[in-house]
Structure formats: structure tokens, C-alpha cells
Structure 1
């Protein structure tokens, strides 16, 4: 009986040593070996500049008549401008009657078949952007418009 007890105790010590050795080996390979030289510290790179909040100018909706070959249609659209800076937003607000006039001229010149396609809407967006980017006064630069966003677009 004593011999059996010694054998079981020896077996437990061998199993414990095996488990301890395995744990030590796994910890070394996952965390890097202590004898290996430390990886070179990467040079401190400056933090990326913070992302600035977008500047939007929401315009009142527009309703224009589109003249077609068979019959006329109505275009109702709401537009929001994404601007580059606060000066551009102030300029858009200060010259709002002229802003609306320029947009109405671009919208009313559109062909029905053209604006019903994604490519046509993109061309319309670019046309509005080009029209509004021109200076409103000779001594001022034009507003810096990043994008023209259609928040509503209905043709009836």
C-alpha cells in the first residue's frame, strides 16, 4: 500500500511539473522571451489632427417647374451645403437671396430625363456648386463649398 501511495505521489509531481513547464513555455512565447532584445521603440509620432466638425448651411426647399416634351413636371428639392469654413457659411447667409436665385436658375434649366438618373443628379450637384462658388461681390472671394447635398428630391 505504501508503494502504491509513493507511485501516485510521484505521478502527481510529474504531471504538475509538466503542466508548470508548459505554462512557462506558453507565457514566454506569447509575451516574447526574456532573453530576446526588446523591440526598438517606435519614434513618437505626432497625434493626428482632430477631425473638425462639419459646417452645414441648410437652405429652404425649392420648387421649380421642369418643362418636358409631353408635359411639365414639378421638382421639389431641399438642399444642404457642406462648407469649408465659417466665413463661407456667413457669406452664404448674408447673400441668401442671391444664393437662392442662382440655385433656382440652375434647377429650372434642367431636363426631366437627365435629373432622374444618378449621373444627372451628380451633374446637377456640380452645377449648383460651380454657380455658388463664384464671388457674390467683386472684393470677396467666393464661398468654399465642399459638397451639395440633396436632402429631398421629388419629381411629380
Structure 2
């Protein structure tokens, strides 16, 4: 065999090996997904505990959003001469209500993150025109960051400000 033939044979073997490996992985994933759909709930629960994300099934998302109200939060902000109070009521918009059913257990995390957000805010800053839109964006980013380590973050579509009072 010549050197060119050896190189061509080697390249052909590598390509064939890559194709066979890819086909094996793809068919394994397909088989596992098919068998999980047909298997009992015990097997599904076992796969849900797996650390492989492609093996677990996601909860079906609804087309219409649902809203989950959070507890009222009252915070203190700085003013020029005195302290002021901010009362917030928030609602979480989701298309997977089952995914955020335990969000009320995380209210200390929510309150802590809101306290940190409002610690740098002033009364004048919150009274400016257009501050509600920017505040709502900041609230969403703050809560998504607070839930970053949990599975709840994947089910939060939006954070709505349902009541906002500054005194």
C-alpha cells in the first residue's frame, strides 16, 4: 500500500467510527425517551432523579399564562429629610403553574433580594417619571438571580408589579 492509500484508509476509518458513534448515541437517546414514555411512573421517577437532563421529561407548559401572587413586601427607603416606605405586591407569570407551586416557601429569599435592591434606592429616584417600567425590569432580574440556584427559575416567565405604593 502506498502512503496516500494508507491516509485515505485512515480518514475513512475515522469518519466511519464517528458516524457509528453518533448513530449509537442518537438511537440510545431515542430509545430511552420512548421507553420512559411507555414505562411506569416508578421508572419515570427514577429517570427524573438522574443528573442527565435529556433523560428527564419536562412538565408540559400551558398556552395561557397563570399568575401566582406573592406576599406583600414593605421596605424602607432613604429620603432627603426622612425615611419613606415602599409597599410592593408582586405576581409571578408562568405557563407551568406546577413548577412554581413551592415558590411561597422561598419568600425569605424574595424579601432578602428585594431588600438588597431597594437599599440603594432613594425616594426621589422612585418618584421619577418612568420609574415603574425600569423598576419592574430590575425586579424581574433580581428575582431571576435570586432563584438562579433553584428549578423555579425555569418556570418564571415574567414578574409583574401588581401594587406599588411609596409614602
- TM > 0.5 fold call: yes
Select the structure that is richer in helix.
Answer: 2
**TM-score between the two structures when normalised by the length of structure 2:** 0.52
Q: Contact (CA 8 Å) 2:70, 2:104: kept in 1 or not?
A: no
Residues 2-151 of structure 1 correspond to what in structure 2 (within 5 A)? 52-86=63-97, 88-90=99-101, 92-134=103-145, 136=147, 138=149, 140=151, 142-151=153-162
Matched residue SS, 1:95: helix
Q: CA 1:79 to 1:140, structure 2 compared with 1: closer, same or farther past 3 Å?
A: closer
RMSD over equivalenced CA pairs, Å: 2.6
Quick one: distance in 1 between partners of 2:152 and 2:70?
Answer: 21
Structure 1 residue ranges without an equivalent (≥5): 1-50
How many equivalent residue pairs?
106
Structure 2 residue ranges without an equivalent (≥5): 1-61
Task: From the CA coordinates, give the structure whose radius of gyration is larger.
Answer: 1
Q: CA 1:82 to 1:68, structure 2 compared with 1: closer, same or farther past 3 Å?
A: same
1:137 Cα deviation from its structure 2 partner: 6.3
Quick one: distance in 2 between partners of 1:89 and 1:69?
Answer: 39
**TM-score between the two structures when normalised by the length of structure 1:** 0.55
